[in-house]
Amino acid sequence: MGLVTRPTAQHLDEFRARVRTFIAENAPPFQAREGHRAPVDATQEKQLRTWFAALFEAKLIGADWPVEHGGRADHHPLYDRIVSEEILRARAPRPVDQVNLAAHVLLHFGSDEQKRTYLPAIRRSEHVWCQLLSEPDAGSDIAAVRSRAVRLPDGTWRVDGQKTWITDGHWADMGLALLRTDPAAVRHHGLSVFVVPLSAPGVEVRPIRTIGDAIEVNEVFLTDVRLPAENLIGAEGQGWSIIMAGLDFERFGIGGNVILLELLIDDLLTLARHLQVDGRPAIEVADIRQRIAELAVEVEVAKAFIDDHVEQLINGREQPGDSSIAKLSFAETYHTVAAYGADLASWGTSFQPADSPVAQARQRLRECWLWSRAYTISGGSSEMMRNILAKRRLKLPTT
Protein backbone atom coordinates (compact mmCIF):
# COMPACT_ATOMS: atom_id res chain seq x y z
CA MET A 1 0.00 0.00 0.00
CA GLY A 2 1.46 3.37 -0.99
CA LEU A 3 1.80 6.30 1.33
CA VAL A 4 -1.35 8.41 1.58
CA THR A 5 -1.33 12.13 0.88
CA ARG A 6 0.40 14.16 3.56
CA PRO A 7 -2.20 15.69 5.91
CA THR A 8 -2.52 19.47 5.93
CA ALA A 9 -1.34 21.50 8.91
CA GLN A 10 -4.96 22.23 9.82
CA HIS A 11 -5.87 18.56 9.68
CA LEU A 12 -2.89 17.67 11.90
CA ASP A 13 -3.89 20.34 14.42
CA GLU A 14 -7.44 18.96 14.52
CA PHE A 15 -6.11 15.43 14.96
CA ARG A 16 -3.82 16.57 17.80
CA ALA A 17 -6.80 18.17 19.56
CA ARG A 18 -8.78 14.91 19.28
CA VAL A 19 -5.85 12.94 20.66
CA ARG A 20 -5.52 15.28 23.65
CA THR A 21 -9.22 14.95 24.39
CA PHE A 22 -9.04 11.15 24.12
CA ILE A 23 -6.08 10.99 26.51
CA ALA A 24 -7.77 13.28 29.02
CA GLU A 25 -10.90 11.11 28.99
CA ASN A 26 -9.33 7.64 28.90
CA ALA A 27 -5.85 7.64 30.45
CA PRO A 28 -5.39 5.78 33.76
CA PRO A 29 -5.64 7.84 36.97
CA PHE A 30 -1.88 7.87 37.57
CA GLN A 31 1.12 9.44 35.87
CA ALA A 32 3.83 7.50 34.10
CA ARG A 33 7.14 7.25 35.97
CA GLU A 34 10.47 6.49 34.38
CA GLY A 35 11.83 3.20 35.67
CA HIS A 36 8.42 2.36 37.14
CA ARG A 37 6.46 1.55 33.99
CA ALA A 38 5.24 -1.94 34.88
CA PRO A 39 2.07 -2.30 36.97
CA VAL A 40 2.58 -2.62 40.71
CA ASP A 41 -0.60 -4.59 41.42
CA ALA A 42 -3.59 -6.26 39.76
CA THR A 43 -5.66 -3.08 39.75
CA GLN A 44 -3.00 -1.08 37.96
CA GLU A 45 -2.42 -3.90 35.48
CA LYS A 46 -6.12 -3.94 34.60
CA GLN A 47 -6.06 -0.17 34.14
CA LEU A 48 -3.04 -0.39 31.84
CA ARG A 49 -4.52 -3.16 29.72
CA THR A 50 -7.79 -1.24 29.42
CA TRP A 51 -5.88 1.89 28.39
CA PHE A 52 -3.81 0.11 25.74
CA ALA A 53 -6.88 -1.67 24.36
CA ALA A 54 -8.67 1.70 24.15
CA LEU A 55 -5.77 3.17 22.16
CA PHE A 56 -5.93 0.27 19.72
CA GLU A 57 -9.73 0.46 19.49
CA ALA A 58 -9.54 4.18 18.67
CA LYS A 59 -6.79 3.33 16.12
CA LEU A 60 -4.45 5.78 17.74
CA ILE A 61 -1.88 2.98 17.95
CA GLY A 62 -1.63 0.13 15.48
CA ALA A 63 -3.03 2.44 12.81
CA ASP A 64 -0.06 1.59 10.57
CA TRP A 65 -1.07 -2.08 10.47
CA PRO A 66 -2.69 -3.44 7.30
CA VAL A 67 -6.40 -2.64 7.16
CA GLU A 68 -7.33 -6.33 7.37
CA HIS A 69 -5.60 -6.50 10.75
CA GLY A 70 -7.12 -3.34 12.21
CA GLY A 71 -5.10 -0.53 10.63
CA ARG A 72 -6.36 2.55 8.83
CA ALA A 73 -6.36 3.04 5.08
CA ASP A 74 -5.65 6.76 5.56
CA HIS A 75 -2.81 6.26 8.03
CA HIS A 76 0.17 8.60 7.79
CA PRO A 77 3.37 8.45 9.93
CA LEU A 78 2.77 11.98 11.20
CA TYR A 79 -0.30 10.70 13.07
CA ASP A 80 1.91 8.26 15.00
CA ARG A 81 4.27 11.07 15.90
CA ILE A 82 1.42 13.19 17.27
CA VAL A 83 -0.01 10.32 19.34
CA SER A 84 3.40 9.57 20.85
CA GLU A 85 4.05 13.23 21.64
CA GLU A 86 0.69 13.78 23.30
CA ILE A 87 0.89 10.63 25.43
CA LEU A 88 4.32 11.71 26.65
CA ARG A 89 3.34 15.32 27.27
CA ALA A 90 0.32 14.18 29.29
CA ARG A 91 2.67 11.91 31.29
CA ALA A 92 0.26 9.07 30.52
CA PRO A 93 1.54 5.47 30.34
CA ARG A 94 2.93 4.82 26.89
CA PRO A 95 2.36 1.58 24.98
CA VAL A 96 4.74 -1.27 25.74
CA ASP A 97 7.68 -1.20 23.31
CA GLN A 98 7.99 -4.98 23.29
CA VAL A 99 4.38 -5.34 22.13
CA ASN A 100 5.10 -3.03 19.20
CA LEU A 101 8.17 -5.06 18.27
CA ALA A 102 6.26 -8.35 18.44
CA ALA A 103 3.48 -6.95 16.26
CA HIS A 104 6.06 -5.68 13.75
CA VAL A 105 7.72 -9.11 13.59
CA LEU A 106 4.41 -10.94 13.23
CA LEU A 107 3.16 -8.62 10.50
CA HIS A 108 6.34 -8.96 8.46
CA PHE A 109 7.41 -12.54 9.13
CA GLY A 110 4.48 -14.38 10.72
CA SER A 111 2.32 -16.93 8.94
CA ASP A 112 -1.31 -16.17 8.17
CA GLU A 113 -2.33 -18.40 11.06
CA GLN A 114 0.04 -16.65 13.47
CA LYS A 115 -1.37 -13.29 12.45
CA ARG A 116 -4.95 -14.50 12.97
CA THR A 117 -4.03 -15.95 16.36
CA TYR A 118 -1.86 -13.27 17.92
CA LEU A 119 -2.64 -9.89 16.37
CA PRO A 120 -6.27 -9.61 17.62
CA ALA A 121 -5.12 -10.53 21.14
CA ILE A 122 -2.54 -7.73 20.97
CA ARG A 123 -5.16 -5.19 19.93
CA ARG A 124 -7.45 -6.29 22.77
CA SER A 125 -4.45 -6.07 25.13
CA GLU A 126 -5.04 -9.67 26.16
CA HIS A 127 -1.42 -10.37 25.26
CA VAL A 128 1.44 -8.30 26.60
CA TRP A 129 4.71 -9.40 24.98
CA CYS A 130 8.33 -9.40 26.10
CA GLN A 131 11.58 -10.06 24.23
CA LEU A 132 13.52 -13.16 25.22
CA LEU A 133 16.82 -12.09 23.67
CA SER A 134 19.63 -11.20 26.12
CA GLU A 135 21.47 -13.89 28.06
CA PRO A 136 23.87 -13.83 31.03
CA ASP A 137 26.97 -14.50 28.90
CA ALA A 138 25.85 -12.58 25.84
CA GLY A 139 24.37 -9.27 26.98
CA SER A 140 23.81 -6.98 24.00
CA ASP A 141 25.67 -9.41 21.75
CA ILE A 142 22.58 -11.42 20.90
CA ALA A 143 24.42 -13.36 18.21
CA ALA A 144 26.13 -15.16 21.12
CA VAL A 145 22.95 -16.69 22.54
CA ARG A 146 23.21 -20.25 23.78
CA SER A 147 19.61 -21.09 24.66
CA ARG A 148 18.63 -23.97 22.39
CA ALA A 149 15.58 -25.27 20.62
CA VAL A 150 15.82 -28.89 19.51
CA ARG A 151 13.37 -30.34 17.01
CA LEU A 152 11.85 -33.59 18.27
CA PRO A 153 10.75 -36.53 16.08
CA ASP A 154 7.10 -35.46 16.26
CA GLY A 155 7.94 -32.00 14.86
CA THR A 156 7.64 -30.15 18.17
CA TRP A 157 10.51 -28.26 19.80
CA ARG A 158 12.21 -28.66 23.18
CA VAL A 159 13.64 -25.42 24.57
CA ASP A 160 16.28 -25.03 27.28
CA GLY A 161 18.25 -21.99 28.40
CA GLN A 162 18.27 -18.76 30.36
CA LYS A 163 17.37 -15.21 29.38
CA THR A 164 18.05 -12.11 31.45
CA TRP A 165 17.14 -8.41 31.69
CA ILE A 166 13.74 -9.24 30.25
CA THR A 167 11.62 -6.10 30.41
CA ASP A 168 8.01 -6.72 31.53
CA GLY A 169 8.58 -10.47 31.72
CA HIS A 170 6.82 -10.72 35.09
CA TRP A 171 3.47 -9.59 33.69
CA ALA A 172 3.86 -10.54 30.03
CA ASP A 173 1.73 -13.27 28.49
CA MET A 174 3.93 -14.09 25.49
CA GLY A 175 7.64 -13.95 24.69
CA LEU A 176 9.46 -13.44 21.40
CA ALA A 177 12.47 -15.73 21.81
CA LEU A 178 15.71 -15.95 19.85
CA LEU A 179 17.04 -19.50 20.16
CA ARG A 180 19.84 -21.51 18.63
CA THR A 181 18.46 -24.29 16.45
CA ASP A 182 21.76 -25.34 14.86
CA PRO A 183 24.42 -25.91 17.55
CA ALA A 184 27.09 -26.42 14.90
CA ALA A 185 26.58 -22.94 13.48
CA VAL A 186 28.40 -19.92 14.86
CA ARG A 187 27.39 -16.36 15.64
CA HIS A 188 24.32 -15.15 13.76
CA HIS A 189 23.91 -18.38 11.79
CA GLY A 190 21.66 -21.16 13.08
CA LEU A 191 19.30 -18.91 15.04
CA SER A 192 15.50 -19.00 14.93
CA VAL A 193 12.63 -17.03 16.46
CA PHE A 194 9.81 -18.62 18.44
CA VAL A 195 6.64 -17.61 20.25
CA VAL A 196 6.94 -18.73 23.89
CA PRO A 197 3.84 -18.51 26.12
CA LEU A 198 5.07 -17.42 29.54
CA SER A 199 2.49 -19.72 31.12
CA ALA A 200 3.99 -22.82 29.46
CA PRO A 201 5.31 -25.57 31.74
CA GLY A 202 9.04 -25.16 32.28
CA VAL A 203 9.04 -21.35 32.08
CA GLU A 204 10.14 -19.68 35.33
CA VAL A 205 10.25 -15.88 35.70
CA ARG A 206 12.34 -14.35 38.49
CA PRO A 207 11.93 -10.58 38.92
CA ILE A 208 14.99 -8.34 39.35
CA ARG A 209 14.55 -5.27 41.54
CA THR A 210 16.25 -2.25 40.01
CA ILE A 211 18.23 0.53 41.69
CA GLY A 212 15.03 2.61 41.52
CA ASP A 213 13.33 0.05 43.78
CA ALA A 214 11.02 -1.20 41.04
CA ILE A 215 10.51 -4.42 39.12
CA GLU A 216 10.99 -3.70 35.44
CA VAL A 217 13.27 -6.52 34.31
CA ASN A 218 13.50 -10.23 34.98
CA GLU A 219 15.40 -13.45 34.55
CA VAL A 220 13.56 -16.12 32.59
CA PHE A 221 14.56 -19.78 32.86
CA LEU A 222 13.47 -22.21 30.14
CA THR A 223 13.66 -25.85 31.23
CA ASP A 224 12.38 -28.58 28.93
CA VAL A 225 9.77 -26.21 27.48
CA ARG A 226 7.77 -27.87 24.70
CA LEU A 227 6.59 -25.74 21.78
CA PRO A 228 4.43 -26.84 18.84
CA ALA A 229 5.88 -26.55 15.33
CA GLU A 230 3.63 -23.59 14.54
CA ASN A 231 5.37 -21.47 17.19
CA LEU A 232 8.37 -21.00 14.88
CA ILE A 233 8.22 -17.57 13.23
CA GLY A 234 9.53 -17.45 9.68
CA ALA A 235 11.93 -20.12 8.53
CA GLU A 236 14.36 -22.09 10.68
CA GLY A 237 17.69 -20.27 10.69
CA GLN A 238 16.11 -16.90 9.78
CA GLY A 239 16.23 -15.63 13.35
CA TRP A 240 19.06 -13.13 12.97
CA SER A 241 17.45 -11.19 10.11
CA ILE A 242 14.04 -11.25 11.84
CA ILE A 243 15.35 -9.88 15.12
CA MET A 244 17.56 -7.28 13.41
CA ALA A 245 14.55 -5.97 11.49
CA GLY A 246 12.56 -5.83 14.71
CA LEU A 247 15.31 -4.10 16.69
CA ASP A 248 15.77 -1.46 13.99
CA PHE A 249 12.07 -0.70 14.44
CA GLU A 250 12.46 -0.62 18.24
CA ARG A 251 15.57 1.55 18.16
CA PHE A 252 13.83 4.27 16.22
CA GLY A 253 10.91 3.98 18.62
CA ILE A 254 13.28 4.65 21.53
CA GLY A 255 14.83 7.58 19.70
CA GLY A 256 11.36 8.86 18.87
CA ASN A 257 10.73 9.44 22.57
CA VAL A 258 12.59 12.72 22.17
CA ILE A 259 9.70 14.53 23.89
CA LEU A 260 10.98 12.96 27.11
CA LEU A 261 14.07 15.11 26.67
CA GLU A 262 11.97 18.25 26.48
CA LEU A 263 10.15 17.21 29.64
CA LEU A 264 13.51 16.71 31.36
CA ILE A 265 14.55 20.25 30.41
CA ASP A 266 11.20 21.55 31.72
CA ASP A 267 11.78 19.82 35.06
CA LEU A 268 15.37 21.07 35.16
CA LEU A 269 14.22 24.66 34.63
CA THR A 270 11.50 24.31 37.26
CA LEU A 271 14.06 23.07 39.75
CA ALA A 272 16.66 25.72 38.88
CA ARG A 273 14.15 28.56 39.25
CA HIS A 274 13.12 27.55 42.78
CA LEU A 275 16.15 25.73 44.19
CA GLN A 276 18.31 27.91 46.44
CA VAL A 277 22.07 27.89 45.92
CA ASP A 278 24.08 30.23 48.17
CA GLY A 279 20.88 32.07 49.07
CA ARG A 280 19.62 32.75 45.54
CA PRO A 281 17.77 30.82 42.82
CA ALA A 282 20.04 28.33 41.07
CA ILE A 283 19.10 29.76 37.66
CA GLU A 284 20.84 33.01 38.64
CA VAL A 285 24.17 31.22 39.10
CA ALA A 286 26.12 31.79 35.89
CA ASP A 287 27.66 28.33 35.47
CA ILE A 288 24.35 26.58 36.25
CA ARG A 289 22.50 28.76 33.76
CA GLN A 290 25.21 28.11 31.16
CA ARG A 291 25.10 24.35 31.67
CA ILE A 292 21.31 24.23 31.37
CA ALA A 293 21.55 26.23 28.13
CA GLU A 294 24.11 23.74 26.77
CA LEU A 295 21.86 20.80 27.66
CA ALA A 296 18.87 22.50 26.02
CA VAL A 297 20.93 22.83 22.82
CA GLU A 298 21.78 19.11 22.95
CA VAL A 299 18.08 18.31 23.25
CA GLU A 300 17.29 20.50 20.24
CA VAL A 301 19.98 18.72 18.21
CA ALA A 302 18.45 15.32 19.05
CA LYS A 303 14.98 16.59 18.21
CA ALA A 304 16.20 18.07 14.91
CA PHE A 305 17.59 14.70 13.86
CA ILE A 306 14.35 12.91 14.70
CA ASP A 307 12.34 15.48 12.75
CA ASP A 308 14.65 15.09 9.76
CA HIS A 309 14.54 11.31 9.97
CA VAL A 310 10.74 11.27 10.04
CA GLU A 311 10.74 13.37 6.87
CA GLN A 312 13.21 10.98 5.24
CA LEU A 313 11.01 8.01 6.17
CA ILE A 314 7.95 9.74 4.73
CA ASN A 315 9.77 10.49 1.49
CA GLY A 316 11.42 7.04 1.24
CA ARG A 317 14.97 8.35 1.73
CA GLU A 318 15.95 6.59 4.96
CA GLN A 319 19.71 6.11 5.28
CA PRO A 320 21.47 3.02 6.70
CA GLY A 321 21.95 3.35 10.42
CA ASP A 322 19.42 6.15 10.95
CA SER A 323 17.53 4.19 13.58
CA SER A 324 20.78 3.56 15.47
CA ILE A 325 21.61 7.29 15.40
CA ALA A 326 18.15 8.06 16.76
CA LYS A 327 18.53 5.54 19.58
CA LEU A 328 22.07 6.63 20.43
CA SER A 329 21.23 10.33 20.35
CA PHE A 330 18.22 9.92 22.60
CA ALA A 331 19.83 7.55 25.12
CA GLU A 332 23.03 9.52 25.65
CA THR A 333 21.32 12.91 25.81
CA TYR A 334 18.71 11.57 28.24
CA HIS A 335 21.42 10.26 30.54
CA THR A 336 23.42 13.50 30.41
CA VAL A 337 20.44 15.74 31.19
CA ALA A 338 19.04 13.46 33.90
CA ALA A 339 22.43 13.09 35.58
CA TYR A 340 22.88 16.86 35.79
CA GLY A 341 19.34 17.31 37.09
CA ALA A 342 19.82 14.69 39.79
CA ASP A 343 23.13 16.27 40.78
CA LEU A 344 21.57 19.73 41.03
CA ALA A 345 18.67 18.32 43.06
CA SER A 346 21.08 16.72 45.53
CA TRP A 347 22.98 19.81 46.63
CA GLY A 348 20.50 22.66 46.31
CA THR A 349 17.86 23.45 48.92
CA SER A 350 14.14 23.90 48.43
CA PHE A 351 11.42 25.18 50.73
CA GLN A 352 8.53 23.91 48.60
CA PRO A 353 5.91 21.43 49.97
CA ALA A 354 6.41 17.76 49.15
CA ASP A 355 3.50 17.78 46.69
CA SER A 356 4.53 20.98 44.91
CA PRO A 357 5.54 21.10 41.22
CA VAL A 358 9.12 21.73 42.34
CA ALA A 359 9.23 18.64 44.55
CA GLN A 360 7.65 16.58 41.77
CA ALA A 361 10.22 17.83 39.25
CA ARG A 362 12.99 16.96 41.70
CA GLN A 363 11.65 13.43 42.16
CA ARG A 364 11.21 12.89 38.42
CA LEU A 365 14.79 13.97 37.69
CA ARG A 366 16.12 11.52 40.27
CA GLU A 367 14.01 8.67 38.85
CA CYS A 368 15.06 9.52 35.31
CA TRP A 369 18.73 9.49 36.30
CA LEU A 370 18.40 6.10 38.00
CA TRP A 371 16.72 4.73 34.88
CA SER A 372 18.89 6.51 32.32
CA ARG A 373 21.55 3.81 32.04
CA ALA A 374 18.87 1.34 31.00
CA TYR A 375 18.24 3.42 27.88
CA THR A 376 21.93 3.19 26.94
CA ILE A 377 21.69 -0.62 27.07
CA SER A 378 18.17 -1.69 26.09
CA GLY A 379 17.54 -2.31 22.41
CA GLY A 380 21.31 -2.57 21.91
CA SER A 381 23.96 -0.79 23.94
CA SER A 382 25.44 2.54 22.89
CA GLU A 383 28.69 0.74 22.09
CA MET A 384 26.85 -1.59 19.71
CA MET A 385 25.02 1.35 18.13
CA ARG A 386 28.40 2.92 17.36
CA ASN A 387 29.61 -0.36 15.86
CA ILE A 388 26.51 -0.57 13.68
CA LEU A 389 27.07 2.99 12.49
CA ALA A 390 30.71 2.27 11.75
CA LYS A 391 29.74 -0.64 9.52
CA ARG A 392 26.48 0.47 7.94
CA ARG A 393 26.93 4.23 7.66
CA LEU A 394 30.67 4.88 7.57
CA LYS A 395 31.54 1.60 5.79
CA LEU A 396 34.57 1.15 8.02
CA PRO A 397 36.44 -2.18 7.77
CA THR A 398 35.72 -4.74 10.48
CA THR A 399 37.97 -7.39 11.93
Active site residues: 250
Measured distance CA(174)–CA(133) in Å, rounded: 13
* Cα Rg of the chain (Å, integer): 22
Cα 258 from Cα 252, distance rounded (Å): 10
What is the spatial distance between Cα 104 and Cα 118, in angstroms, rounded to a whole number?
Answer: 12
E strand or H helix that includes residue 254: helix 239-255
Q: Are 326 and 229 in contact (CB under 8 A)?
A: no
SS3 content of the chain, % helix, strand, coil (to 5): 50, 15, 35
CA 153 from chain centre, in angstroms, equals: 38
| Helix (H) / strand (E) containing 174 | strand 174-180
Judge whether 241 and 108 are in contact, CB under 8 Å: no
Burial of 62 (0-12, 13-18, 19+ CB in 10 A): buried
**Degrees, nearest 5: CA angle 33-96-124:** 125
